[in-house]
Chains A and B, each alone.
Chain A
Amino acid sequence: MSEEQVAKRPRTDEKGSSGTPMEQDQQEVPGPAGEGPTDRKPARKSVQDLMRPYYGLKFPYNEFCQWLSYGNDTKLPQADSNFFQRREFCFTLDGDIFVRYQSFKVAAEIHALPKLPAKIDIGPVYNVDPQRRKAYTGGASERGFLPVERELVFDIDLTDYDDVRTCGKEGHICAACWPLMAVAVEIIDASLREDFGFEHILWVFSGRRGIHCWVCDERARKLTDEQRSALAAFLSVYKGTEGGIARLALSTVSNSNHPSVERAYRVLSDAWTEHILPQQRLLADEAGWEGVLAYVKDDDVAERLRGRWAREQGRLTAGDISVERWADLESEIDKKEIIFAYAYPRLDVEVSKKMNHLLKAPFCVHPKTGKVCVPMDPSNIWAFDPEQVTTVHDLLETDKDSQDAATAEAAMEAAVGTFRRCFLNGLRAASKAGLVAKARASEGLAW
């Protein structure tokens, strides 16, 4: 992809949304009046050009490092001052060059790097400083350089829903398919908190068409690979699609009606009729209803519905056509299966299974869209609009004193605010309390 194409990307993405700061921004880009917006594009810098100033000026290093220090940046006696330095960062430089095993003493070091990254990934905390790993590997001992802890992470991407989305494929994202992500946040968040007892959970928009989740409780960070796999399997009801039919882990005695599955079903049912079914227009045309009818076990029922819907196609309805037709489906069992097949979170489990899997850091900029990977508030997830997310262009390409610059600045501040309010404040308090408790315990031993 040429640089110009890269530069074009964010522009086309934002076209649909009206009243964004970006649209006003476009009018300020110098260019001959009266010409179409395409003619003015070269004036805009590419996302890649803006990465450097973004990481230099805007990236919230303080909050970022406070998070990843887990209280070890304090003066508490039990604080482990090496902790942060044993964390692996992986930088992606221009041209997809990966630089693994980077580590830093303090945030300022990242800031001062001669080469600023296009993307920062976060890896595990190792037993030793990853930059000095060579001294510990090789030889007879296999135990030299090992990951010792890492957040439990999840990655959900809309591309994995391509067979059930009707609004677009691959990189596409819009208001019609975002509910699939919103419902995923609700379900996974509820299970992590209620079933597993985790509290410090960070949800992040991945910059284009997906979401990331970071579970940061100490207990989650210490999980072994086996335990991570188990947890991911617990959350995976959807097990892939075969021959156009989703494979679901609902069939065995132990799985059906499991309290956790039931809770997910309640969340899904609400979102289904309210958002997903009407917005995806799942029963509005033949292609849509054929996909759904594939799950109806009784051929006679399927045939009857097929006939009726085809006959009535084109008829005007009072309410939403898909919602009305959904009511025609009679069997409760089929309905449950269909809802799970279409809308249950499709986790990329490989990401969650291993301690040393890298995942893109929050507040990175997506190289294609220029959008900042902002944190999301899970308790207010339906209000999140991926199309309105601040871009590097908003932040760096607007006139410094303009209203747009102020709006973008405020959006970034709000994002950092969400990070603090929904996640960091609670985590810092818990980390400190944990260290104090540890100090007490060791004092107790000394006595």
Chain B
Amino acid sequence: MSAWLERQQARTIKPAADVPAEDVTHQRISLYKDSPSGEVCIEEFERFAIDRLRVLKGIEDAKTKGFKGDQLQGLVIQLAEKHLKCATAEETRWKDAVSHFVLRLAYCRTEDLRRWFLQHECELFRCRFKNEMPTSQVEFMRRHSFAYEALAGEEYQGLKADLVKVPFEQVPDLVASRRVLLRGGAAYVSRHEVASLVVGHFRAGLSHSLALTARRWAASIADEEAERLTPVVLSLSERYLGPDYGDGEKGPQEVVTAAQLPALAKQSFPLCMQNMHSRLHADSHLKHFGRLELGLFLKGIGLPLEEAMKFWRAEFAPKVQGEKFDKEYAYNVRYNYAKEGKRTDYTPYSCKKIISIPVPKNEAFGCPYKTLSPADLAEQLRAMRLPQRSVEEVVAKARAGHFQLACMAEFEGRHSCICDEGINHPNQYYDESRKVLVEQQKPAEPATPAAGAAAVPGATQPKAAIGTPGIKITVAAT
């Protein structure tokens, strides 16, 4: 046991950013216990909030791309510097507090919004806390009188460990990843993991406050501020939750029909969805996760329930028809559209999720850049008429384990354009693909929206969003 602990201790404590260890910690990080008092003009109210959203959104993107540890921390600190820093420490603190409380208001109203906000605020807090010097961290904990026990002398003597003892409930993330010693319900946290402890408190406090704010919002604020704040607050949360590609985001003009699917699959489906789609067609069947991944993706591109039912029924028809289909598969389809079971409006799976689901042999679901052998992958790509240079690039990236980069390279090869920000969602791939194709079909002068464009789904502009996660597209010169 002590060997394990010593090894844990030996992991170097990263020296924090280059700042003097004077006691300014409380100015840079806050638990946001009290709302700021003072006047904020409505423009500032919104501008501050949008700046903070850029930070939170940036955190989400970075995590989707797989950023972790020091790399993530560095990026988050940069984001915060860029968007939240002002001329003086005083102003910075003011902006930090105001933006936090405005977003609290905007993101308190539904479970999903709260979860999103909580998750990314905690990450921001964690990175900021870890960025402090160890002495400042201790000072911060002292200032906020965190209740923890320093170990008594005879307890774990011989371990010479610099440990803090807390109930295990307080450090769930350390428990989950086994980064803590447990004994009899107590967790012994080493000093360099105290961030988890503090973040735990931060999370619990914020979670509670969000629930309270939600009640107050419903009870009074929404009515009292109906004309002034409410529209701003509502639009903040609506615009910036980030695309989950749920069907709610689609306008009516973006509806896709079952009949359009084969053509769309060829043009704009990422390889994972193409594979499932063709396997479904060949086998007249698709296993559970395939139905889920493809079904939700199709919902995300704008296939309504009736069309989805039509599509699945037709595809299954050679093998399963009539009552058997109704009984065993129609439920699935309706489930995806929140008409059955818990009636949750499920959102399409992101790349991260698709990559993380284990795929048994010979199944069509999952990320093909991960599951296919290099030879099979190359063959498929060539069959899609991808230029040889792209095929090589894609296969090399996939082989190196950079599945999303491989997907991005495929996108670039297929659409002959540059994709700057990467692929992190099959529906994002699709949307960007539609955008590029529409762009490429347009005549040289974009005078009026081309008549043909209306017929192509996904042609309309996505909702204006600052810091939109979409890909910056540069159409290659033709």
Q: How far is the CB of A447 from chain B (nearest CB, A)?
A: 25
Query: Which residues of B sit under 8 angstroms from A198, Cβ to Cβ?
Result: 185
Which of A195, A223, A262 has most chain B Cβ within 10 Å?
A195
Contact (Cβ within 8 A) A142 B182:
no
| Residue A143 lies at the interface, judged by CB distance under 8 Å to chain B | yes
List 12 extra interface pairs beyond A242-B360, A243-B360, A257-B7, CB under 8 A: A142-B111, A194-B183, A195-B182, A196-B184, A219-B185, A230-B173, A233-B176, A242-B359, A243-B361, A249-B178, A254-B8, A258-B4
CA distance A62 to B346 in the complex (A): 43
Query: Which residues of A sit under 8 angstroms from B185, Cβ to Cβ?
Result: 196-198, 219
Give the residue of B111, B173, B178, B214 whose beta carbon is less than 8 angstroms from that of A258: B178
Contact (Cβ within 8 A) A240 B358:
yes
Q: How far is the CB of A333 from chain B (nearest CB, A)?
A: 17
Using a CB–CB cutoff of 8 Å, the interface residues on chain B facing chain A are 1, 3-4, 7-8, 11, 111, 168-169, 172-173, 175-179, 181-186, 211, 214-215, 218-219, 358-361
Contact (Cβ within 8 A) A140 B219:
yes
Given contacts A230-B173, A233-B177, contact A195 B183 (CB under 8 A): yes
Interface bits A237-271 vs B (CB < 8 Å: 1, else 0): 00011111001010011110111111000000000
Contact (Cβ within 8 A) A244 B176:
no
Query: Which residues of A sit under 8 angstroms from B7, Cβ to Cβ?
Result: 253, 257
Query: Which residues of A sit under 8 angstroms from B179, Cβ to Cβ?
Result: 254
CA distance A240 to B358 in the complex (A): 7
Q: How far is the CB of A97 from chain B (nearest CB, A)?
A: 16
CA distance A38 to B214 in the complex (A): 65
Q: Which 8 A-B pairs have the closest CB atoms?
A: A197-B185, A230-B172, A233-B176, A197-B184, A195-B182, A230-B176, A140-B218, A242-B358
Contact (Cβ within 8 A) A254 B218:
no
Give the residue of A226, A254, A262 whose beta carbon is less than 8 angstroms from that of B177: A254
Nearest chain B residue, comparing its CB with the CB of A141: B215
Q: How far is the CB of B108 from chain A (nearest CB, A)?
A: 11
Nearest chain B residue, comparing its CB with the CB of A222: B169
Using a CB–CB cutoff of 8 Å, the interface residues on chain A facing chain B are 140-143, 194-198, 219, 223-224, 226-227, 229-231, 233-234, 240-244, 247, 249, 252-255, 257-262
Nearest chain B residue, comparing its CB with the CB of A259: B1
Q: How far is the CB of B331 from chain A (nearest CB, A)?
A: 13
Nearest chain A residue, comparing its CB with the CB of B8: A254
Give the residue of B3, B175, B214 whose beta carbon is less than 8 angstroms from that of A142: B214
Query: Which residues of B sit under 8 angstroms from A229, Cβ to Cβ?
Result: 172, 176
Query: Which residues of B sit under 8 angstroms from A230, Cβ to Cβ?
Result: 172-173, 175-176
CA distance A224 to B167 in the complex (A): 14
Nearest chain B residue, comparing its CB with the CB of A254: B179
Which of B1, B175, B184, B214 has most chain A Cβ within 10 Å?
B175
Which of A234, A255, A257 has most chain B Cβ within 10 Å?
A234
Contact (Cβ within 8 A) A257 B3:
yes
Query: Which residues of A sit under 8 angstroms from B361, Cβ to Cβ?
Result: 243-244
Nearest chain A residue, comparing its CB with the CB of B193: A254
Contact (Cβ within 8 A) B178 A255:
yes
CA distance A141 to B183 in the complex (A): 40
6 residue pairs bridging A and B, Cβ less than 8 Å apart: A141-B215, A196-B184, A227-B169, A231-B176, A234-B182, A249-B178
Q: How far is the CB of B234 from chain A (nearest CB, A)?
A: 16
Contact (Cβ within 8 A) B218 A196:
no
Q: How far is the CB of A297 from chain B (nearest CB, A)?
A: 18
CA distance A252 to B184 in the complex (A): 24
Contact (Cβ within 8 A) A260 B178:
yes
Which of B7, B182, B359 has most chain A Cβ within 10 Å?
B182
Contact (Cβ within 8 A) B177 A196:
no
Contact (Cβ within 8 A) B186 A197:
yes
Query: Which residues of A sit under 8 angstroms from B182, Cβ to Cβ?
Result: 195-196, 234, 260
Give the residue of A195, A196, A234 whose beta carbon is less than 8 angstroms from that of B176: A234
Contact (Cβ within 8 A) B172 A143:
no
Query: Which residues of A sit under 8 angstroms from B176, Cβ to Cβ?
Result: 229-231, 233-234
Query: Which residues of B sit under 8 angstroms from A223, Cβ to Cβ?
Result: 169
Q: How far is the CB of B149 from chain A (nearest CB, A)?
A: 15
Q: How far is the CB of B166 from chain A (nearest CB, A)?
A: 13
Give the residue of B172, B178, B184, B360 whose beta carbon is less than 8 angstroms from that of A254: B178
Q: How far is the CB of B101 from chain A (nearest CB, A)?
A: 21
Q: How far is the CB of A255 from chain B (nearest CB, A)?
A: 5
